[in-house]
Amino acid sequence: MERRVVSRKPILLSIAPVLLVLAVFSSSLSEAADSKASFEDNFDVTCPVDHFTTSEDRQIWYLSLDQKGGCGFKTKQSYRFGWFSMKLKLVGGDSAGVVTAYYMCSENGAGPERDEVDFEFLGNRTGEPYLIQTNIYKNGTGGREMRHVLWFDPTEDYHSYSVLWNNWQILFVVDGVPMRVYKNNGKENNFFPNQKPMYLFSSIWNADDWATRGGLEKTDWKKAPFVSSYKDFDVDACQWEDPYPACVSTTTDHWWDQYDAWHLSDAQKLDYAWVQRNLVIYDYCSDTERYPTLPEECSLSPWD
Ligand SMILES: *[C@@H]1O[C@H](CO)[C@@H](O)[C@H](O)[C@H]1NC(C)=O
Ligand SMILES: *[C@@H]1O[C@H](CO)[C@@H](O)[C@H](O)[C@H]1NC(C)=O
């Protein structure tokens, strides 16, 4: 795998086939469209009122960060397996040190037994590229980071960021393109979160101790407030109900947990290969300095 940031131009040139297969992929997802629902029905906001605003029609939500603190929201419901999607527009301009997180987690806080599926958007100095960091936690342990650059400026417009989660794979999807494939080896002590229902969260916070160039670039508070925007929440999933919802035993009745969603399609494989060639800048599965013995899931093929 190439571990470098390619210039914008070759990416743009090679995007045509991606857009083509993208159209095919998104049409196969149209079954999920009927589940669009409003933010207010689905989320609780977890920050002071002055850090949270909406558009007049309340369809767009804005989370802001300043020196007093950040902001976040969380789904009222938790889910086990499904399709989770939202459109985000990230903090523009000088956003070094600022992290917007969009993630699923089985708990409210950073508990020692939590499962987590993370998208984190690491801000940067004006004109320097945002990075997407993705990660998986199982029972409180993480360390499964990958980092990607994007083929567009995520601060200029809304783009969709989605997670497909079933018992075979977790896909991290950006505008319909599978950026990362995380597989389940099916063994008893696997590192695949598949037991605990998870909530969907988003938050914006200051992480200038590590985020941008490893913490070298500090947040410039003169540029505050930093604002990220959200719209078009879309969930098609098995909603959890204690003690055990019926849909847990029938998840295979749903498109997101059927054969086609257990593996990449041929079209998705093309996109995924393109991402691997052009956008990956860090993969823990290639970091033998950090993991002299690579975690077991690193040997699983995303192509199966
Ligand atoms: C999960 O983590 C907790 C706390 O670290 C530990 O006590 C427990 O045995 C773990 N459970 C499993 C199934 O590994
Ligand atoms: C920020 O920009 C620098 C310079 O282009 C780049 O090396 C770095 O990977 C970018 N992102 C982060 C999160 O540091």
Domain boundaries along the sequence of the chain: 8-299
Q: What is the pLDDT of residue 1?
A: 31
Cβ atoms within 10 Å of 107's Cβ, excluding its own: 16
pLDDT one-digit tens code per residue, 187-227? 988 999 999 999 999 999 999 999 999 999 999 999 999 99
Q: What is the pLDDT of residue 77?
A: 94
Residue 9 confidence (pLDDT) above 60: no
- Ligand 2 midpoint to CA 128 (Å): 6
Which tokens hold the place of 229?
Answer: 């925007």
Q: Where are the alpha helices (DSSP H) in 184-265?
A: 259-262
Confidence of residue 37 (pLDDT cuts 50, 70, 90): low
Q: What is the pLDDT of residue 40?
A: 78
Q: Say which of 2, 56, 107, 116 is annotated catalytic.
A: 116
Q: Which CATH number fits domain 8-299: 3.40.30.10, 2.60.120.200, 2.40.160.20, 3.40.630.40?
A: 2.60.120.200
pLDDT one-digit tens code per residue, 111-128? 999 999 999 999 999 999
Tokens 């950040």 belong to residue: 70
Phi, psi of 98 (to 5 degrees): -90, 130
- Ligand 2 midpoint to CA 124 (Å): 6
Q: What is the pLDDT of residue 35?
A: 47
Q: Where are the alpha helices (DSSP H) in 39-183?
A: 39-42
Beta bridge partners of 122: 99, 131
Pocket perturbation via mutation, ligand 2, pick of 3, 100, 131 by most ligand atoms within 8 A of CB:
131
> What mean pLDDT, rounded, does the chain reach?
88
Pocket perturbation via mutation, ligand 1, pick of 107, 115, 116, 139 by most ligand atoms within 8 A of CB:
139
Give dist(CA 132, CA 123) in Å, integer.
Answer: 9
The residues, any chain, with a CB within 8 Å of residue 34's CB and separated by 6 or more, are none
What's the whole-model pTM score? Answer: 0.88
Give dist(CA 134, CA 122) in Å, integer.
Answer: 11
- Ligand 1 midpoint to CA 139 (Å): 6
Q: What share of the chain is helix, strand, coil (3-state, %, to 5)?
A: 25, 35, 40
Q: What is the pLDDT of residue 10?
A: 32
